[in-house]
């Protein structure tokens, strides 16, 4: 901080002087300051002081050693961890380790070119569905470097972003079972799997819960009298692949949904069997937060485990291959086919807004529109053979 002081020369002339702290010399490690005097006014002294400070900083910046992408990332990740959920931090850190740092870690942040940034974006778009997020994360480090004056421009701001593929719709179109396919799968699962695993697939098929939401359920979340299920948490992966129960994906994900009678009956039976199974190995399941679906030690089931259960049925019986998330799509698909509204589906699935639901299942609405027209034309054509139907159509049109 600079200080300004007026002084008097021997001849009686009054002038101004200043003293300011400039910084630490990176070579010697000593603090550097400046004392200047001989200014006719305080304003002149202040202007000279400001110029001296700026000149010193520019000179220091010009001599500053270049910083690698890895060095800036190491600084950024410390702060980033304090601003997001553990699961988000873990996912982002993994993205950097797998896709971003192997490309940029040794490059100087002020030397990364537009061509290099564009090539990275192109490569990611060809390899990954989530490439837009990878590109944005790569750009974050350069932006952080700019805040530190380690770089003066961000080449990612000038790239041409590859077109976003229609991966969502393609995924939903292929990743669900028809009514007949679902019934066949559940019939085989009941035959091949133990009650816990069968109850899992029955529940996820008839509720549309996300896998993490299903594995986080406790018996307190089931109201057997009212036949409802409460969703308020999810199993997620944190630092060092640690499993933990955290808040759901969004606030809208917190919801209470109705359950059908048969699913309730299956869950009741599993609760009885769970007590018997764990009591044999000396584990009590009467605690207040007892998981509905737990591992052999009565802890959290890994998110990859249900995939193995599913594959055991699919491969053995050569069924259509879907993912665990495909049962959520299946549930939504069959709800719409049964005549439920988009709003009903949105609330049951816990989407943040109805637009997400519409974007995911627009292919179904288009199919239903076509079926409606086809049914209408078929109905009209058949009226020529049935006078009573013809009169009914006329009445409907008048209404």
Residue 227 burial (CB < 10 Å; 0-12/13-18/19+)? middle
Cα–Cα distance, 117 to 203 (Å, whole number): 46
The answer to whether the beta carbons of residues 274 and 285 sit under 8 Å apart is yes
Q: And the tokens for 34?
A: 């400046």
Q: Return d(Cα 109, Cα 245) in angstroms, integer.
A: 38
325-349 burial, b for 16+ CB within 10 Å, e for fewer?
Answer: ebbbbbbbbbbbeeeeebeebbbbb
Question: Does residue 12 form part of some domain?
Answer: yes
Residue 180 and residue 52 share a domain: no
Three-state secondary structure call for residue 126: helix
**Considering its fold, how many domains does the chain have in total?**
3
Radius of gyration of the chain (CA): 33
User: Which whole-number Å values give the CA distances from 91 to 81, 96, 189, 238, 381, in the listed order?
Assistant: 11, 9, 32, 8, 57
Are 287 and 243 in the same domain? yes
Asked if residue 382 is part of any domain, the answer here is no
Q: For residue 350, how many other CB atoms are within 10 A of its CB?
A: 20
Q: What is the pLDDT of residue 371?
A: 62
Tell me how crowded residue 30 is: count the other CB atoms within 10 A of its CB: 7
Distance CA 302, CA 277 (A): 20
> Is there a single domain that holds both residue 77 and residue 55?
no
Cross-strand pairs, 81? none
Look at residues 331, 349, 367 and tell me which one is the last residue of a structural domain. 349
CATH number reported for the structural domain that contains residue 291 in this entry: 1.10.443.10
Has residue 379 been placed in a domain?
A: no
Q: Are 185 and 319 in contact (CB under 8 A)?
A: yes
* Alpha-carbon torsion angle 254, 260, 263, 265, nearest 10: 120
Per the structure, the complete domain to which residue 28 belongs is given by 3-63
Q: Which of 250, 218, 216 is nearest to 233 (CA)?
A: 216
DSSP 8-state class, residue 154: -
Q: At what angle do helices 167-174 and 354-382 cross, to 10 degrees?
A: 60
Same domain, 194 and 318: yes
How crowded is residue 155: how many other Cβ atoms within 10 Å of its Cβ? Answer: 18
Helix then strand then coil, in percent of the chain rounded to 5, is 60, 10, 30
Q: Could you tell me the CATH number of the domain that includes residue 81?
A: 1.10.150
> Residue 393: what pLDDT?
43
pTM confidence score: 0.63
Same domain, 136 and 257: no
- Residue 289 inside a domain? The answer is yes
Q: Are residues 265 and 160 in the same domain?
A: no
In order along its 399 residues, the chain shows pLDDT tens digits of: 789 999 999 899 999 999 998 887 755 667 888 999 999 999 999 999 999 888 887 776 655 677 999 999 999 999 999 998 888 898 899 999 999 999 999 999 999 999 999 999 999 988 887 789 999 999 999 999 998 888 889 999 999 988 754 444 445 567 889 899 999 999 999 999 999 999 999 999 999 999 999 999 999 999 999 999 999 999 988 877 888 888 887 888 899 999 999 999 999 999 999 999 999 999 999 988 999 999 999 999 999 999 999 999 999 999 999 999 999 999 988 888 888 888 999 999 998 888 878 877 766 555 555 666 666 667 667 655 555 545 544 444 444
- Of 332, 378, 326, 322, which is closest to residue 354 (Cα–Cα)? 332
User: Does some domain include residue 9?
Assistant: yes
| 184 in a structural domain | yes
Could you tell me if 188 and 94 lie in one domain? no
303 plus 188 within the same structural domain: yes
One domain, residues 212 and 309: yes
103, two tokens:
């490309």
Distance CA 322, CA 176 (A): 6
**Residue 176's closest CA among 385, 324, 371, 351?**
324
Residue 340 lies in a domain: yes
Listing DSSP states for 295-358 in one string gives -TTSSPPPTTHHHHHHHHHHHHHTPPP--THHHHHHHHHHHHHTT--HHHHHHHHT-SSHHHHH
Specify whether the CB–CB gap between 21 and 35 falls below 8 A. no
Judge contact between 246 and 210, C-beta under 8 A. no
Considering 34, 63, 92, which residue would you say is the last residue of a domain?
63
Q: Where are the beta strands (DSSP E) in the chain?
A: 3-8, 14-24, 31-39, 222-223, 228-231, 234-237, 243-246, 255-258
- Is 121 found in the same domain as 143? yes
28 and 112 belong to one structural domain: no
Same domain flag for 256 and 305: yes
Q: Is residue 386 part of a domain?
A: no
Q: Of 38, 63, 88, which marks where a domain is finished?
A: 63
């Amino acid at each position: 901080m600079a200080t300004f002081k007026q002084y008097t020369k021997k001849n009686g002339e009054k002038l101004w002087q200043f003293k300011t702290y400039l910084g630490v010399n990176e070579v010697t490690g000593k603090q550097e300051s400046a004392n200047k005097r001989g200014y006719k006014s305080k304003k002149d002294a202040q202007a000279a002081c400001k110029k001296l400070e700026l000149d010193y900083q520019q000179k220091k910046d010009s001599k500053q050693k270049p910083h690698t992408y890895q060095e800036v990332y190491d600084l950024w990740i410390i702060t980033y961890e304090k601003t997001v959920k553990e699961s988000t931090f873990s996912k982002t850190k993994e993205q950097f380790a797998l896709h971003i740092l192997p490309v940029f870690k040794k490059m100087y942040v002020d030397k990364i070119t537009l061509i290099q940034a564009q090539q990275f974006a192109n490569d990611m778009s060809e390899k990954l569905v989530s490439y837009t997020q990878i590109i944005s994360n790569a750009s974050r480090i350069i932006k952080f470097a700019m805040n530190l004056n380690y770089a003066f421009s961000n080449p990612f701001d000038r790239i041409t972003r590859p077109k976003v593929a229609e991966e969502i719709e393609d995924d939903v179109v292929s990743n669900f079972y028809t009514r007949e396919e679902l019934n066949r799968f559940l019939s085989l699962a009941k035959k091949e799997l133990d009650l816990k695993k069968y109850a899992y697939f029955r529940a996820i098929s008839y509720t549309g819960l996300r896998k993490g939401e299903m594995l986080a359920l406790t018996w307190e979340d089931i109201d057997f009298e009212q036949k409802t299920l409460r969703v308020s948490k999810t199993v997620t992966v944190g630092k060092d692949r640690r499993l933990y129960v955290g808040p759901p994906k969004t606030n809208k994900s917190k919801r209470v949904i109705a359950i059908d009678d048969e699913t309730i009956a299956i869950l009741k039976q599993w609760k009885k069997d769970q007590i018997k199974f764990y009591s044999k190995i000396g584990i009590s399941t009467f605690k207040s937060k007892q998981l509905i679906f737990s591992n052999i030690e009565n802890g959290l089931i890994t998110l990859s485990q249900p995939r193995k259960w599913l594959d055991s049925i699919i491969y053995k019986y050569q069924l259509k291959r879907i993912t665990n998330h495909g049962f959520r799509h299946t549930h939504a698909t069959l709800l719409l086919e049964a005549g439920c509204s988009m709003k009903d589906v949105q609330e049951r699935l816990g989407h943040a807004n109805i637009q997400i639901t519409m974007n995911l299942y627009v292919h179904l609405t288009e199919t239903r529109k076509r079926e409606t027209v086809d049914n209408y034309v078929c109905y009209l054509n058949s009226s020529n053979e049935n006078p009573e139907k013809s009169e009914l159509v006329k009445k409907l049109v008048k209404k």
